Chain A
């Protein structure tokens, strides 16, 4: 199972505490993770990536194993530590405020 850490507002929307876990068959990519998260928690559709374009929302960032992978291809494989569930895939709201 892959661990996905959501920001607080999205945990509230989804009604979860802590990281969520999703199962992915096949290659573990950003797109596969987001597809699985939205399938498990439909309320999150549109909150992380745009409904129509599927582009990452501007103030949302993705991290894997300490690396910012926000600008990587959504179809690029993620590190094995994320794919194996050892490390979480982090979805973070950008720090924008005072």
Chain B
């Protein structure tokens, strides 16, 4: 019988939650790397036993961990993330020039086809690639060399490259997103990049329609239709039907269009999920009611999904990398909260139940669907 493995990164370690295809009984394994921040861990689509984890600490810096047995054992691999060439500067919060400094890896994206190739999205914003299973890393410096780099600036959480999407239909195409620079696309495997922010409008920056400077929180795609992208921006839910060349708003009837994660149903490319948050300073659900919103029309028309979720006195947040779907026949949807709960739905979001309630604050959730 098939099963799922939910990979959870938290402020104080990693947890692996496992179940069979029924997704009713769960085994909780962890913490791995107790006491360390695990910004993200993810499995290789080409080898489900191969996992990568970003482990970091304000004291001891960045580690990358690799597992070749589905997370039972781990091995520290390379942590030498050096910016290529002259590092240059980006904008600091006050608009002054600030030198690029490596701080941590926010997101790891294993190759779709090769378990030993993995991409890392870093703060300060840069994209790195390893072709030897994480032992060594090389910056794809064409991104920072795009020319707009000196105008990028950090969001409240830092200037992080948090989203990496690999196009399953075009091996050379990569999408990334940076807070607060915006979205970028490469069509030559990361050598050169194009800012893809036309149509975004951000009232909190001097030129609301600037080429860069938008605080993109997350981008998602369905692998069967990689030129259609969905974006949760600082405010606004956006959609592109031309691989990011242009965007249009699809926030529709949401109670708030501020939020962090956005995800696409495994089998329905027009079904998308967001978790509305009250505002950019009040990072909790409107009215203290935790609700996932689902659109089956690719945006604009949204329905609240609340069955099984707390509907009073709930003031947690769901961070940008903390939502994922499985690809079982009845699509499972998962998300983790800053309150340490990991919720799962085995019926595309119609109903929810906590897998676990009392983990450290959840930073990331990924799901592997196992044969």
Contacts and interface: CB of A to CB of B under 8 A. Distances in A.
Interface of A: 7, 9-10, 13, 43, 45-48, 50-52, 57, 59-60, 93-94, 96
Identify the 7 closest CB pairs spanning chains A and B, nearest first: A47-B60, A59-B59, A93-B59, A43-B76, A46-B79, A51-B80, A46-B61
A67 to B, nearest CB: 21
Size bracket of the B interface: 10 to 19
B58 A45 contact: no
B323 interface: no
B82 A94 contact: no
A50 to B, nearest CB: 8
A59 B61 CA distance: 10
A47 B82 contact: no
A45 B79 contact: yes
Specify the main secondary structure of chain A where it touches its partner: loop
A48 B80 CA distance: 13
A57 B76 CA distance: 19
B59 A60 contact: yes
Contacts of A48: 60
A9 B59 CA distance: 10
A92 B62 CA distance: 17
Contact of A47 (B35, B63, B102): B63
A96 B58 CA distance: 9
B36 interface: yes
B89 interface: no
5 contacts: A9-B35, A43-B63, A46-B80, A60-B60, A93-B60
B57 interface: yes
A89 B35 CA distance: 24
A27 to B, nearest CB: 27
Interface string B61-83: 11100000000000010011110
Contact of A10 (B60, B62, B102): B60
A22 to B, nearest CB: 19
A50 B101 CA distance: 11
Nearest to B60: A47
